[in-house]
Chains A and B, each alone.
Chain A
Amino acid sequence: MLTRQDLRELVILTALGAVVGLVHLGLRPELPVLAEPATACTLDDSPEPTEPEPVAPAASMEPALPMTPVSSPAGGAP
């Protein structure tokens, strides 16, 4: 069914398409190097992570009242 001439045409057309495609790729530098998988939805997709609790600034961690010395248990009453 397929002749040698058919296969030769297939090879030439494939080579021509590959060259045209690679030249096109070279002319499009704006193409991202790695395409990002956009909206594939599967059951095994993990949910988006929740936002972490905001951390209080360091200044607010200081006590409002001045610290008083605390006696150690060893030095206390017998």
Chain B
Amino acid sequence: MTTPVPTDMSQRPALWETLAWLARLVLAGVFLVAAVPKLLDPNAFAAAIANFRVCPESMVNAIATVVPALELCGALALLTPWRRGGALLLGVLLIAFTALLASSLARGLDLDCGCFGGGAQADPVNALDLLRNAGLLALVVLVLVPKRVR
């Protein structure tokens, strides 16, 4: 004779799985939206990187093409069985972006974020960018938390 499992206990893993799936979907969407304009117009992204004044000018073009490719790889990996590797990659990128934004805010630089490519929709760096990155990092952690911990 088997004892019935309480309903709330049986539904909890399913709820977490749904949340993790939603987190993967949101992360993949955000980073795809961020990567595609940079890949299509690397000149604008290179100018945005150069404005931060944190890397040698000879490295700007390489960074302007490699970073969007990393974002694209991480976003696509989130939709595959390599989701944990993709989440790790996006987490590393998010930490680097957040440090860069915090550095520019601390130095009082008034420049375009370049987070979603350049052009007319570019926004100046502000504290909301840090808050957005913190939220995205929380989603990365949600993807990375193993099932047995949940």
Interface hub of B49, B84, B144 (most chain A Cβ within 10 A): B84
B37 at the interface (CB under 8 A from A): no
CB distance from A31 to the nearest CB of B (A): 5
Contact pick for B61, options A8, A13, A35, A40, CB 8 Å: A35
CB distance from A24 to the nearest CB of B (A): 4
CB of B62 within 8 A of CB of A13, answer no
CB of A10 within 8 A of CB of B146, answer no
Q: Is the interface of B mostly helix, strand, loop or mixed?
A: helix
CB distance from B64 to the nearest CB of A (A): 7
CB of A21 within 8 A of CB of B62, answer yes
Binding site for A on B (CB under 8 A): 39, 42-43, 46-47, 49-51, 53, 57-58, 60-62, 64-74, 77, 82, 84-86, 88-89, 92, 107-112, 144-146, 149
Binding site for B on A (CB under 8 A): 1-2, 5-10, 12-14, 16-18, 20-22, 24-25, 28, 30-43
Mind listing 29 A-B residue pairs with CB under 8 Å? A1-B145, A2-B88, A2-B144, A6-B85, A6-B88, A6-B144, A9-B77, A14-B70, A17-B73, A18-B70, A20-B72, A21-B70, A22-B62, A25-B42, A25-B61, A25-B62, A25-B66, A28-B65, A30-B43, A31-B64, A32-B43, A34-B57, A35-B43, A35-B46, A37-B50, A39-B111, A40-B51, A40-B53, A40-B109
